[in-house]
Every structure is written in C-alpha cells, then in structure tokens.
Structure 1
Amino acid sequence: MTDASPIVRLDQLRLDRGGRTVLRDISLQVPRGSIVAVLGPSGSGKSTLLSALTGELPAAAGTVEVLGQPVPRSQRALLELRKGIGVLLQGNGLLTDLTAAENVALPLRMHTRLPAPVIRRLVQMKLHAVGLRAAADAYPRELSGGMARRVALARALALDPPLMIYDEPLTGLDPIASGVVMSLVRRLNDTLGLTSIVVTHHVHETLPIADHAVVIANGGLVFSGTPAQLQASTDPLIRQFLNGEPDGPIPFESRAFTSGEAA
C-alpha cells in the first residue's frame, strides 16, 4: 500500500531573515511522486523557502512538515531527516581534489558503514544513472558544466533519498546542457520513484517536465496549479513574470538607481 500523504506540507508558513519577513502565508502540499516547480523572479524568496525545507531556517510562524514529520530543531534529528533529502546546489559543490567517483562516494563514506567494494558498486550505479560512468576517474576541472552538474546529481542521489530538491539547477548551463539536465530530472523522478522540487527562475525549461507549478513573488505565493493553468493565466503579475517584462506588479530592484549612478 502506497503512502498517500504529501511528502511536503507547508501551512501558513512565515519566514524571516534579519528581522525582515521574506515570505508569509505560504500553504502548499507536494504529492509523492510528483515534480513541483517553484518559480519566481530573482530575490523573491525561493532559496529562503528551500532553507526552511532542509531545516536551515526555522519557521517564524506556521508549520513545515517534510517526509511525514515536522522539521526538527535538534541537530541530531535534523541530520537524520536530511539523509532523506537530496539537494542539488546551483554551484555543484564538488570537491576539486576528488574525482567524480570519489565525490559521489563521499556521502556513502560519511553516513554509512558499507564496505568499500559495495560503495564502489553503488557509485558506478549512480554515475551510470546520470550517463557518466565513463567519467568516474575525471576531476571536476576536466568536466563540462553540464557533466559537473550531473556528477553533483549522482552525489545527491547517493543515499537514495525519497525527496530531491534542485536549487537553480540550470545556472550557468547552455541550452543543450539545460535540456539534458531537465530531461534527466524527469527520468530519474519516474524510474527511481522520487519526489522532486525544482527551485528556479528558468520557466520555459522547467514547465515541460513539471506536474505542478507555484510562483512566489512580492513576499507570497501568487499562483499554484498545473503548468497549463500557469501558461493560460491572465493575471498581470503572472504575465509579467512569464514574459519577462520590466514593468508590472513585480518591482524591478534596479529602479532604485538613479541615472547618475554606475550601472
């Protein structure tokens, strides 16, 4: 019998940083097995929301439940929860003095007591899953941007987490590499039975693989629905974001500069 409860549940969530409210009244449920795109302009609070899901930033108000439990405050309980969450960082976070295989093996060596031959086999499987088994002995500097991102994805999958969070996974990638990474996200989600949350401002690359989309802007959740409903929306704020228009309900921060200041 499959678990029908949402893998992530947010209820009236408020998140503060530095004494300032970044997000307020965020309520959201993420069904198991789905891919949810969390969209919004730069600086809208997407990464702040990610920090709440991983327990890095405690809620100022409301509740955050991940993997069927409230996100704990104690470091030991938080560490256990994080073992069930794979995170792909936008900067990859690969250690430059380790090979691709050694980078992928790192979580297994840190968090398990598996014998070395088993770890080697698991690393081969993870690299094969992202199409990079032949690059096992390559160092990060020898990899293209897209390849490095896929090695980081293999490492995020090392402990077989049921939940994957992608933080701006397309940053710095060309269109071809972006397409490869996003199709890989969809395929891995389906074949491994994952649930994925993709935090991004790359709308047109992400919507084709998403089951659900939410848009964060102006300190709150301004849209929640299917990608088709998002693209059909006539809301001026949504249209401004989707079309990349500088004028509209979403303020452009650079307006604070006067014409006499340097760009």
Structure 2
Amino acid sequence: MSADATPAVRLSGLRLDRGGRTILHDVSLEVPRGSITAVLGPSGSGKSTLLAALTGELPPAAGSVEVFGQRVPRRSRELLELRKSIGVLLQGNGLLTDLTVAENVALPLRTHTRLADPLVRRIVDFKLNAVGLRAAANAYPRELSGGMARRVALARALALDPPLMIYDEPLTGLDPIASGVIMSLIQRLNDTLGLTSIIVTHHVHETLPVTDQAVVIANGGLVFTGTPSELEATTDPLVRQFLRGEPDGPIAFDNTTFNSGTFRAEAA
C-alpha cells in the first residue's frame, strides 16, 4: 500500500476503558485521507473517549490506533511530535481571555517553533484571513460573538498546518446561522488545504451535508459506518432511534431513580 493510500486514521479492534469500566469495545474503522468523517452518537456514548484515544490522551486497553500509518506512541516526546500533526477544535474554544485574537492564534507557533516574529505575524494574518476574521486581530475574546470565537479557535488549531483536524462538538452553543457558517468553513478548509477531518458531534442534520463518511456510536461500539445517504436510508432500529431522537428503543440511555431520599444515576 502506498503512503497516499494509507488511511489517515485506522482503528483496529480497539477497546477503551475508563475507571475500570469498558466504554468502547471492538471498534474498527478507517478514515480515508482527504475525507470528512462524522462520528455521531447520543451524549455519553463514548465519542469524547474515542477522541482521547486519537490524540493519545487515553491509551487503548486493547487493539491499536494509527495516525498516518504510525501507531500512536505512549512516550511523551514521540506523542508530542505526533500531536503537532493533529489540530483539535475544542468544544469550549479554549481561548485565553487576556490575549488578543492574534496572540491566541500565534500561541502554538511561539510554543512549538522558533520562527521569527515577522513570519509568525504573517502566518497569523493568513490563518485569520482563512476564517474571515483578519479584521478582528486586535480584539479580545470577550468582544467576540460565539461564532467568531469558534472561528478564532479554528484558526489557532490550524496554526501549525496539521494534516488531520478533529472537531469536538463544533456547533455547541451556536445559533443556526453560526452553525451553518462553521460547517461551511470546515468543508471549505478541508478541500482547499487538503485536510482530513473528523467531526465528533451529536448534531446530525447540520453535519451530514458536508461529510463523506458517517459513523454512529451507541451501546459501547460502532453500530453504523457508511455514507450519509446510506445512514439516512438505513432501517436499523437502533440507528433510526438515534436519528429520530426517540426516547424509547434499543439504545440504552442513562436513567435516574429515587432511592432512600437521594437520586442515584444508574448507567443502563
């Protein structure tokens, strides 16, 4: 297999545990280079746990995770080098409030490179221009709308030119218009920069139009992998329950019971 044919991400027989409990098991998946893959599923299904495995934060209990043909390492130095090739857009943006927009975007460049200041400023201008916010370079995060702050965080995630982008719930807290802007921007950047993108989300209808591959996580594993059109056409009752937002069905949600005067959450 040539380097170009090697998947951007390959998961093989993956099992992920947290606190002595198995969250995901027997997960096998390939993410083609240049594609946009949506990882969908209800809250608490293990989407964020899967993200932690992709970035090396959570080592597999079994199986393997490969990024661009390289198994995700466990040693700190090797893991740091791999993470430079992965951009992550955090759900909460993670912008530093006492830094300007430009300074936030420059932070990865100043932390991980020895580039001269004039070059750093040029790169920051380019990244902000790519997300349509070059004019906001001197503003502070508190002066931005939610959609603008999300785009600044995206510019920062792209600062080191990572070939792989991971978006962790990129539409959380955004109105429909801002959500449309973010999804359109993700698609445009993926195409123009030749990226591979993984979108971890529970926003199905906003995400599917820009994706090449859809994955649904539920009940501790992958319950669907295919194209968006195949997802919409599936008759699988488990997948249909998620897509329709039905409270009753084969997907086991957490329930809450009243016991001895206190509420006790029981994982189904």
Bin for the TM-score computed over the shorter chain: over 0.9
- 1:25 paired with 2:26, answer yes
Deviation at 1:2, TM superposition (A): 6.8
For residue 91 of structure 1, give the secondary structure of its aligned residue in structure 2.
Answer: coil
Following the alignment from structure 2 to structure 1, what is the Cα–Cα distance between the partners of residues 233 and 47? 23
2:209 alignment counterpart: 208
* Partner in structure 2 of residue 61 of structure 1: 62
- Asked if 1 retains the 8 angstrom alpha-carbon contact of 2:167 and 2:200, the reply is yes
Aligned 1:58-207 pairs, distance under 5 A: 58-207=59-208
Task: State the Cα deviation string for residues 95-116 of structure 1 (Å, max 9, x = none).
Answer: 0000000000000000111100
- 2:237 corresponds to 1:236: yes
Q: Deviation digits for residues 187-209 of structure 1, max 9, x if unmatched? A: 00000000000000000000000
Residue 219 of structure 1 deviates from its aligned partner by: 0.1
Output the amino acid matched with 1:38: V
Aligned positions of 1:5-16 closer than 5 A: 5-16=6-17
Match of 2:5 in 1: 4
On the 8 A contact 2:6/2:68 being kept in 1, the answer is no
Structure 1 runs of 4+ off > 4 angstroms?
A: 258-262
Q: Deviations over 1:52-103 (max 9, x none)?
A: 0000000000011012200001000000000000000000000000000000
- Rounded Cα–Cα distance in structure 2 between residues aligned with 1:128 and 1:34: 23
Deviation at 1:256, TM superposition (A): 2.5
* 8 Å CA contact 2:101, 2:152 repeated in 1: yes
Q: Where does residue 256 of structure 1 map in the other structure?
A: 256
Q: Deviations over 1:107-131 (max 9, x none)?
A: 0000111100000000000000000
Residue 257 of structure 1: how far off its partner (Å): 2.8
Q: Percent identity over the alignment?
A: 79
TM-score by length of 2: 0.95
Structure-1-length-normalised TM-score: 0.97
CA distance in 2 between partners of 1:245 and 1:89 (Å): 28
| 3-state SS in 2 of match to 1:95 | coil
Q: Which amino acid aligns with 1:21?
A: T
3-state DSSP class of the match of 1:126? helix
How far apart in 1 are the matches of 2:64 and 2:113? Answer: 31
Q: How many residues align?
A: 262
Distance in structure 2 (CA, Å) of the matches to 1:187 and 1:2: 24
Task: Kindly state the Cα deviation for residue 258 of structure 1 after the two structures are TM-superposed.
Answer: 4.3
What is the RMSD computed on CA atoms of the aligned residues? 1.5
Structure 2: how far apart are the matches of 1:135 and 1:2? 39
Rounded to whole Å, the distance in 2 between the matches of 1:67 and 1:151 is: 27
Q: Secondary structure at the match of 2:238?
A: helix
CA separation in 1, counterparts of 2:79 and 2:253?
A: 37
